[in-house]
Chain A
Amino acid sequence: MDAFLTSRVVTDILEGIVQGVVIGLVALGLVLVWRATRVLNFALGAIATLAAYLGMGLLSYHVGFWWCFVLCIPFGMVLGGATERIVVRPLYGKPELNPIVAMVGLLFLLEAVVGAIWSTTTRAIPVPFSFIHWTLGGRPFALSPLSVFQICAALVLALAIGALFRFTQLGLQLRATAHAPETSRLLGVRVSRMLTLGWMLSCSVGAVAAVIVAAGFATGLTPSEMEAPFAIGFIAAAVGGLDSPVGALVGGVAFGVIEQFVTDYLNANLVLPVALGILILALVLRPQGVFSRPVARRV
């Protein structure tokens, strides 16, 4: 049993899941915004990084790690809500390219701002969990207390978001707004608030992902820490279906595992090409996404 749990395949799968939860959260963040406002938030990684810097910056004021971690969520919410109200809102009803260009612009702007304020040096986060892997029968096991924390943080957040959508009146209105904005308004739903809320949720999910990345043993806070997870998360969301939150999460974790196998058995440089290959294949075979149902549009 120990030999199996410490085998190369199981190790790759578990390490892949640790990377995958971050990719899944990024994909979930993209889906939340896409469903509500049909905008691809290319700045998600940068907004998330800024929220993580703001939250973790409190460490220097002797605020405990858990408080800093939890406070990243409202920071992400405020940044997401402000982005929707100030940058995105004036672009509704304009050609689809406009918000994309605006989001890419915001991405570069925020990365530069974060670098200017905090410098581009990597900062380690004092996570209260050991990065030393457990051993089984004298052999190293894939997980450490730190990686269990990373997986659990992502899982708790995903379940909380799922419960919000599934069981609350707010979630019902958020889903209704995503499916049928006009009908929702006729039923008294304040749709414009729901759109802002979608952005707030999305960016708070991103902020947690950014902290999970920064907490990693080999990483840390840098202005560009979310670039790689964002690229793969974007592909995962597209493959899983931009309309499916569950598809985004599952797709993200799957891509994390694939990434790990490619790195281990082939070459780390092939991660992005393989991901893009899967995307092309998925777009040819199932353009609506693996987890989305096809929607007929009236023209």
Chain B
Amino acid sequence: MIRVSHLSVFHGAVQALHDVSFEVEAGTVTAVVGANGAGKTTLLRTTSGLVRPRSGSIEFDGQSLVGRRPEDIARLGIAHVPEGRGVIEEFTVQENLRLGALHGKGRFAEGLEDQFALFPALKERRRQHAGTLSGGERQMLAMARALIGYPTVLLLDEPSVGLAPQVTASVLSTVRRLCEERHLTVVLVEQDAMSALRVADRAVVLHVGRVAADDRADVVLADEGLRRYYLGMVS
């Protein structure tokens, strides 16, 4: 589904990703974990076209994504919920969702119903400005806005930031459900490795811009060395 090969990305003189390669299978959740500054966000931003790599390639269903504009990549069915969620605060909840539906598939009315079924809290707040929402509601809105266009791939950047643990858990379990019920392909970037690995099929561990491990999520979760050195988890 997505094949990243030998990807190197620079921010000015600083190299953020070194020769990163891995594959994402259709209908799975791939967790990309690692400490702050490991290059997780850069990886997603390069995939969605916001950042241009120095070298390497990213393929989606056989077509190359490198060099395409973000708006064209989005229209291919790759939805990116960015770091900080990117909710437009000046818009109402419904306007945010309408914007998400414009260039996606399906009809807005059906998509809206679908998202309100998935995130009932948004239905009550549909006429409210997004700036008045809580952190958890913003995360739901950002996800609903990405999903309303029925994408093939969902790139999710740090959904747990600023959320209470039980809210994070419910967000991640929704991700898992979407993957299983709708065959959605998810790339989940998370600093909270433990939570992410529990819902993921595969895990890519990034360490200062390099792939330190690429394996089944349960294998990574069980690996004492990986947990201790790269994920900062003490058993």
Inter-subunit contact A182/B86 (CB<8 Å): yes
Inter-subunit contact A182/B82 (CB<8 Å): yes
Q: Which chain A residues (153-210) contact chain B, with CB distance < 8 Å?
A: 169, 172-173, 175-176, 179-180, 182-191
Inter-subunit contact B88/A180 (CB<8 Å): yes
Give Cα A191–Cα B95 distance, bound, in whole angstroms. 17
Inter-subunit contact A179/B88 (CB<8 Å): yes
Give Cα A191–Cα B49 distance, bound, in whole angstroms. 14
Inter-subunit contact B86/A172 (CB<8 Å): no
Q: Which chain B residues (63-96) contact chain A, with CB distance < 8 Å?
A: 69-71, 74-75, 79-80, 82, 86, 88-91, 95
Q: Which chain A residues (184-240) contact chain B, with CB distance < 8 Å?
A: 184-191
Inter-subunit contact B82/A188 (CB<8 Å): no
Inter-subunit contact A188/B103 (CB<8 Å): yes
Inter-subunit contact B75/A175 (CB<8 Å): no
If A183-B88, A185-B50, A186-B74 touch, whether A172 touches B103 (CB-CB below 8 Å) is: no
Inter-subunit contact A189/B88 (CB<8 Å): no
If A175-B91, A176-B91, A179-B91 touch, whether A186 touches B70 (CB-CB below 8 Å) is: yes
Q: Which chain B residues (90-134) contact chain A, with CB distance < 8 Å?
A: 90-91, 95, 98-100, 102-104
Q: Is B145 an interface residue (CB 8 A)?
A: yes
Selected from B98, B104, B149, the residue in CB contact (under 8 A) with A172 is B98
Give Cα A186–Cα B51 distance, bound, in whole angstroms. 12
**Min CB distance, A241 to chain B, in Å?**
13
Q: Is B48 an interface residue (CB 8 A)?
A: yes
Inter-subunit contact B102/A169 (CB<8 Å): yes
**Min CB distance, A197 to chain B, in Å?**
14
Inter-subunit contact A180/B98 (CB<8 Å): no
**Min CB distance, A189 to chain B, in Å?**
6
Inter-subunit contact B80/A189 (CB<8 Å): no
Chosen A-B contacts, 18 in total, with CB atoms closer than 8 Å, are: A172-B95, A172-B98, A172-B99, A173-B99, A175-B91, A176-B88, A176-B99, A183-B86, A185-B74, A186-B50, A186-B74, A186-B79, A186-B80, A187-B74, A188-B75, A188-B102, A188-B104, A189-B71
Residues of B at under 8 Å CB distance from A?
A: 48, 50, 69-71, 74-75, 79-80, 82, 86, 88-91, 95, 98-100, 102-104, 145, 149
7 smallest A-B Cβ distances: which pairs?
A188-B103, A183-B86, A188-B74, A185-B70, A188-B75, A186-B80, A185-B71
- Since A188-B75, A189-B99 are in contact, a sample of 14 more A-B pairs with Cβ atoms closer than 8 Å, ordered by chain A residue number, is A172-B95, A172-B98, A172-B99, A173-B102, A176-B88, A176-B91, A179-B91, A182-B50, A182-B86, A183-B86, A183-B88, A187-B99, A187-B100, A188-B149
